[in-house]
Structure 1
Amino acid sequence: MAYLLPRIHSSGLVAHIGDTFMRVLHTSDWHLGRLLYGQKRHHEFAAWLQWLQQTLVAEQIELLLIAGDIFDTNTPGNLAQQQYYQFLARLVDTSCRHVVVVGGNHDSPSFLDAPAGLLKAINVHVVGEARDNPADEVVSLYHQGQLEALVCAVPYLRERDLRQVEAYEQAADKDAKILQAIAAHYQATATHAEQLRGEHDIPIIGMGHLFATGGAVQEGDGVRDLYVGSLGQVPASVFPAAFDYTALGHLHVAQQVAQNPTIRYCGAPVAMGFGEVGQQKQVLRIDFAGREPSITPIEVPEFQAKARIRGDMPSILAELDTLVQAQRSVWIEIDYIGEAAVSDLRQRIADHLESKSGAESLVRVLRVRNRQLRRQSMQREIGEDTLAQLSLEDVFKRRLALSELSPEQQHRMCELHQEVVQRLHEEDTRADS
């Protein structure tokens, strides 16, 4: 709302006559329902949502942004859906009077958009799929009858959202046309927002879910390469100058884009893979005095401890003992790099933990990487064979031999592999007809 007299906001910014203050929280990439090597993580996501709600209250947040990938799959489970909707319902009792959600590449656009009309009744604005008219993606936010912010809520853009494919296009021409279409889409939202803003001294906030050129990723973070048609990454120049702040999603590492402090990824709030272990997660608080943003990172605590252990057998067991002695729940990835080949590595680790009273319930090994065994198996079995000389079945069996599955499990995997290949052949046959 616009203050009539000069005053100091809780952020410390000094208001002038006519200034509009707004406090915003930028989040993205929740990935509700995501597993970690088969391990369910509902308690971890529940703890994140509880912390987020408490933070909204403590920081007096008025607008929450969720920049895509709310769910990890386009068919989220019942509990993931329940966590999402219950969280949104609880916001009614907080200072957060607006929520804007855009769809990401992991989300189902139609699933997100289905309850949009209902959610709008509690000031939750959802744009799961790109609109035919980009102006319809502009969300006008009001408080006590006054316009206080405009959000260009652009979801993850697919090629079909942008253009019709033309026959006999060259790859370079296609990429150029896609990039032009993305820039035009964002510009159309910005132009409409500027028309709505008029003489109001209020911010225009851009949102997007894409891979910006130069963005950093981490091993095992689950970030998929994003392609709009054949275009992989998008330059910062697609974002209009009219955006006073641009809230992006998709990359799990918090970062600025093109060294511009007002175009940012906040990163994922929870470590999605062991590659993110040790990375401080954060959300971003943006305080607007009129159109001027002041950006403050807020550190997100770790809700489920994770660790990576790398070494030979004695060092691995020693580190496991240290974690057991800590008496806290921790999920572990082990990377064995010893010289000696240990074919029963996973079993030896399991036996060691079982010998420690109660350790297996707290210290849980989710992944074991046995590099030495893989190297020896590859040298022994593949030799000088080239991929072109191997059948699909040969490649699968040789890769299966590098696993630590029992003979019975390997046999079952071969059966399942044959079923999958057969189904693929059947589908191809139907497509040709």
Structure 2
Amino acid sequence: LCLAVPFLRQGDYPSVPGAENTYSAGVQAFYAEMIEMAKKRKEKNQALIIMGHLHTLKAEVADKDHSERIIIGGLEEISPEIFTNDIAYTALGHIHKAQCVAKSERIQYAGSPLPLSFAEKNYKKGVVEVIVDEGNLVTVERVAYEPLIQLMSVPKQGSASPDFILQELENLPEATNQLDYYPYLEVNVLLTEPEPLLKSKIEEIIEQKAVRLARIQSHFANKNETEELMETELLGLDNKSPIDVANLYYQSLYGVEMPNELRSLFYEACSLIEIKDK
């Protein structure tokens, strides 16, 4: 007997008076009621299988760039204790990384069939084969497979300088007629100064390579360190000139003063705006 439950939204589950976390309490109450009904309906020597779409407590997701719909604060996390040992197997969805829940092979996320973000590019993909007999769980085995289309990053970890990026892209395999099997590529560039032509340089190289460019991400070495300082500085925004604000933002990204060439261009732009306003 299979109890298949979709993702539960507000209104799908009962309200639990006095519950601090109404979502978690309501979903658990819904499952508890449905499981009890299923147990009463199942026949002798018939296994009970649960299928659910939810986020269990302490389930592992990607730290960054995850595409699971996660509510801030983990309010949607459900305790796996509702899936008791007399349930032969619980197959869960929603979390993209394959994993056992509460260290039990009886409760598992099989994982998404394909990586759904670049943060998932190293996830091992597969399906879970479950065999039950006479109402009892016999074996649980993971059957791995490789997705036909891979995700790749340059560099493999973190970000790198434009010169390093361009050299790595030059080293990629040359284009072939097997376009359907080209991997999707993300490029992570570490910038220490503006590079207005970098995007066109990357695209020019990629045109001759056996990859599909999915995105170019710019990273700034100094950004996190100076965000708090920048917020403090901007409190006195009314007393700052446009060039002061522009230089502050430039410093927050690159960690150095805006070069004179850019200052001159900025002054020129400001002058044109003033003339237009007049």
TM-score, with length taken from structure 1? 0.47
Give how far 1:287 is off: 1.2
Deviation at 1:326, TM superposition (A): 7.4
Residue 152 (str. 1) matches residue 3 (str. 2): yes
C-alpha displacement of 1:383? 7.3
CA contact (8 A) 2:128 2:141 kept: yes
Sort the Cα spacing of 1:165 and 1:279 in 2 relative to 1 into closer, same or farther, 3 A: closer
Matches within 5 A, 1:125-164: 150-164=1-15
Pick closer, same or farther for the CA change 1:190–1:164 going to 2, 3 Å: closer
CA RMSD of aligned residues (A): 3.4
Residues in 1 aligned to 2:25 and 2:116: alpha-carbon distance in whole angstroms = 33
* Contact 2:187/2:217 (<8 A) preserved: yes
Aligned to 1:225: 70
Partner SS for 2:148: coil
Matched, 1:371 2:228: no
Counterpart selection for 2:110 from 245, 266, 284: 266
Q: Secondary structure at the match of 1:157?
A: coil
Report the CA distance between 1:322 and its aligned residue.
2.8
Q: Does 1:346 align with 2:199?
A: yes
Q: 1:190 aligns with which of 26, 35, 41?
A: 35
Distance 1:287 1:232, change over 3 A: same
How far off its partner does 1:152 sit? 1.2
- Distance in 2 (CA, whole Å) between partners of 1:188 and 1:156 is 16
CA distance in structure 1 between the aligned counterparts of 2:194 and 2:84, rounded to whole angstroms? 57
Structure-2 residue corresponding to 1:297: 142
The yes-or-no answer on 1:315 pairing with 2:159 is: no
Q: Which residue of 1 aligns with 2:122?
A: 278
SS of the residue corresponding to residue 252 of structure 1 reads coil
Q: In structure 2, do the counterparts of structure 1 residues 287 and 231 end up closer, same or farther at CA, with 3 Å as the change threshold?
A: same
Give the deviation of 1:345 after TM superposition: 2.1
Amino acid at match of 1:156: F
Number of residue pairs the alignment of both structures matches: 229
Note if contact 2:192-2:221 (Cα within 8 Å) is conserved in structure 1. Answer: no
Secondary structure, aligned partner of 2:51? strand
The one-letter amino acid paired with 2:3 is: C
Instruction: Structure 2: give runs of 5+ residues left out of the alignment.
Output: 239-248, 254-278
Residues 1:285 and 1:299: Cα distance change in structure 2 (over 3 Å): same
Distance, in Å, in 2 between the alignment partners of 1:347 and 1:381 is 31
Other-structure match for 1:41:
none
- Identical amino acids, percent of aligned pairs: 24
Structure 1 partner of 2:98: 254
Q: Specify the SS of the correspondent of 1:301.
A: coil
Q: CA deviation at 1:257?
A: 0.8
Equivalent runs, 1:85-100 vs 2, <5 Å: none
2:230 and 2:35 map into 1 onto residues whose CA distance is 59
Query: Is 2:50–2:90's contact at 8 Å kept on the other side of the alignment?
Result: yes
Give the partner amino acid of 2:89: Y
Residues 266/316 of structure 1: CA separation in 2 closer, same or farther (3 Å cut):
same
For 2:10, the aligned partner's letter is E
| Contact 2:175–2:211 under 8 Å retained in 1 | no
Structure 1 gaps of 5+ residues are 1-149, 390-397, 403-433
Which amino acid in structure 1 is aligned with residue 47 of structure 2? P
2:88 aligned with 1:244: yes
Q: Which residue of 1 aligns with 2:246?
A: none
Match of 2:20 in 1: 174
State how far apart, in whole Å, the 2-side matches of 1:293 and 1:158 are: 34
Structure having the higher Rg: 2
For residue 58 of structure 1, what is the aligned residue in structure 2? none
Secondary structure at the residue paired with 2:70? Answer: coil
TM-score if structure 2 supplies the norm length? 0.70
Report the AA paired with residue 322 of structure 1.
N
> Residue 331 of structure 1 is aligned with which of 184, 187, 191?
184
Q: What is the letter of the counterpart of residue 140 of structure 2?
A: I
- 2:233 maps to 384
Are the structure 2 counterparts of residues 346 and 375 from structure 1 closer, same or farther at C-alpha, using a change threshold of 3 Å? farther
CA contact (8 A) 2:14 2:29 kept: no
Report the alpha carbon displacement of residue 319 of structure 1 after superposing the two structures with TM.
Answer: 2.2
Distance in 1 (alpha carbons) for counterparts of 2:41 and 2:125: 35
Mapped contact 2:191–2:221 kept (Cα < 8 A): no
Aligned residues of 1:254 and 1:265 also touching (Cα < 8 A): yes
Counterparts of 1:206 and 1:264, CA distance in 2: 11
